[in-house]
Amino acid sequence: MKRVAFILKVKQDKIEEYKEHHRNVWPEVNEALKRNGWHNYTLFMRPDGMLFGYFEAPVSFEACLEGMAKEPASLKWQEFMKPYFEALDGKRPDQSMLELKEIIHHE
């Protein structure tokens, strides 16, 4: 299992609304995540909106993203969430996730 970490930046004035939407993620999006290998998916956020995401993937981050890009519910969710993020340059949030490289892991 590969550990995956990524960052995105939520707009300061949208943080509370963003959190509320994530307390109520659409069930079909959760099902798509499971189908596409997003295990132990967790989001963390600093007070300034810097978002750190973590999940465990059976293959790779790219493979998980490619799978989600084929899911209609995921594409709809990504478009819905697009206004909440900074610096997307016209892309969907899932196309703008900056993967962090693992440096060290202790068990």
Active site residue 39: no
Question: Quick one: how far is CA 95 from the chain centroid?
Answer: 10
pLDDT at residue 22, as a whole number: 96
Indicate the number of domains in the chain.
1
pLDDT at residue 16, as a whole number: 97
pLDDT at residue 107, as a whole number: 86
Residue 48, domain extent:
2-100
Whether 68 is in a domain gets the answer: yes
Instruction: Give the model confidence (pLDDT) of 36-91 as tens digits.
Output: 999 999 999 999 999 999 999 999 999 999 999 999 999 999 999 999 999 888 89
- Name the active-site residue from 21, 22, 105, 106: 22
Sign, CA torsion 12/14/17/23: negative
Whether 11 is in a domain gets the answer: yes
Q: What is the pTM of this model?
A: 0.90
Residue 38 contacts by C-beta under 8 Å, 6 or more apart in sequence?
55, 57, 64, 68
What mean pLDDT is predicted for residues 100-106?
93
Whether 24 is in a domain gets the answer: yes
Residue 88 vs residue 9, higher pLDDT = 9
Whether 106 is in a domain gets the answer: no
Residue 13 contacts by C-beta under 8 Å, 6 or more apart in sequence?
none
Residue 13: which CATH number? 3.30.70.100
Instruction: Give the model confidence (pLDDT) of 10-37 as tens digits.
Output: 999 999 999 999 999 999 999 999 999 9
